[in-house]
Structure 1
Amino acid sequence: MSTGNGNPATAIVVGVTPRQPDAVLLEAVSFAKAFDCRLVLAHVDASRFVVVENADGTVTSLPFDADLHDFDPEPADPEMEATAHRLLDDAGVPWELTQLAGDPARALGRLAESVSARAVVVGTRERGLRKGILEFFNGSVAAALAHRQARPVIVVPLAPTAGDDPLWDAAPGEPR
């Protein structure tokens, strides 16, 4: 899964999600090239918890639902893997895709530590009242990363707002 001439001892970790805008990976590529690093793409399944954490940053996990006895690691989302190949195979940067489990900020931070990452790249959530409420209650992955680990966090804006636009969309008739 890798191409390019990056230094394998140094990485840029990038959080990826299904159907994520290409901008996150494209920005991560630019940072990987600037720092002569490989890219470690990580998808975190928050519906599973870590049972064993391996030295290479991979994990053995189980689903939170006790009725599901799935000891096999989740395979990478085929669409996410296809997007990675489309955007990264000719980018001149070595890369790999890994599956993690648990709290996204903690999982990305542990992975960054295990691969001696220069930085962690994540995208913002898309705008919208529901997305804003989810982020308020679940917390921002970028903010949690910035407070819980020692590496720089690069946040890629996915739907920036104009300076006078509200941060959350209000329903018609609601105050902004």
Structure 2
Amino acid sequence: MTESPAHRPGNPTRFTGPLLVGVMPGQNRIVVERAAQLALSAGLPLVCAFVDVTVYPVDGTTGGPAAPIDPDALDGEAQEIPRDLIAAITSQLAGTNVDWSMVSLAGEPARALAHEAGRINASMIVVGTRGRRLGSAIKELTAGSVAKHLFHRQDRPVLVVPVEPRIPDDDDED
């Protein structure tokens, strides 16, 4: 088997595109923190992507025109990035020297993130795990994991940041 020069050991592929991180209101700060640390250490810009699941992409793109799933809910206007989310990320990234921006996407989160990653030629997609609350467990069972959908449906590296890791007290496998 012949290895391509770009993937030969000792000749690693250099990341050149921005890092794309999925963000949402109430998300644990560690997700953006880890994405920002990685972006800064790699010298890459960070794109924070909010996916609005209450709207769908009208023209099939995730960053283009969108319409609400419930036409009465938003009077025909797609929802903008929540102000409190913008404020939280702005505060968190202040003084970090990370070149960052935000983008609003529409539709199913994994599909929207994968599409946006392709559009901006992202080097990597960063997402967080769900918390360990009952509501999170129910969402996981019904909708599945965004991270799982991502790493099965596209070819970019996916960094999954554990937000509430469950570390066992001992190493015994009972």
Q: Give your verdict on TM over 0.5.
A: yes
- Structure 1 consecutive aligned stretches of length 4 or more whose deviation exceeds 6 Å: none
Match of 1:103 in 2: 108
* Counterpart Cα distance in 2 of 1:25 and 1:83: 10
SS of the residue 1:66 aligns to: coil
SS of the residue 2:18 aligns to: strand
SS of the residue 2:147 aligns to: helix
Pick one of 37, 42, 53 that aligns with 1:46: 53
TM, length-normalised to structure 1: 0.81
1:29 aligned to 2:36?
yes
1:125 aligned to 2:130?
yes
For residues 25-80 of structure 1, the C-alpha deviation after alignment (integer angstroms, 9 at most, x for no partner) is 100011101221111101111111001356xx622110111335644442221111
Pick one of 142, 147, 171 that aligns with 1:142: 147
Unpaired segments ≥5 residues, structure 1: 1-8, 166-176
Unpaired segments ≥5 residues, structure 2: 1-15
What residue identity is the alignment partner of 1:154?
L
Could you say which structure has the higher strand fraction? 1
TM, length-normalised to structure 2: 0.82
Larger radius of gyration: 2
Q: Is the 8 A contact 2:68 2:77 kept in 1?
A: no
Q: How many residues align?
A: 155
Pick one of 161, 164, 170 that aligns with 1:156: 161
Q: Is the 8 A contact 1:24 1:122 kept in 2?
A: yes
Q: Is the 8 A contact 2:68 2:78 kept in 1?
A: no
Tell which deviates more after alignment, 107-116 or 75-84. Answer: 75-84
RMSD over equivalenced CA pairs, Å: 1.9
Question: % of aligned pairs identical?
Answer: 37
What residue identity is the alignment partner of 2:108?
D
Would the alpha carbon gap of residues 69 and 79 (structure 1) be closer, same or farther in structure 2, given more than 3 Å must change? closer
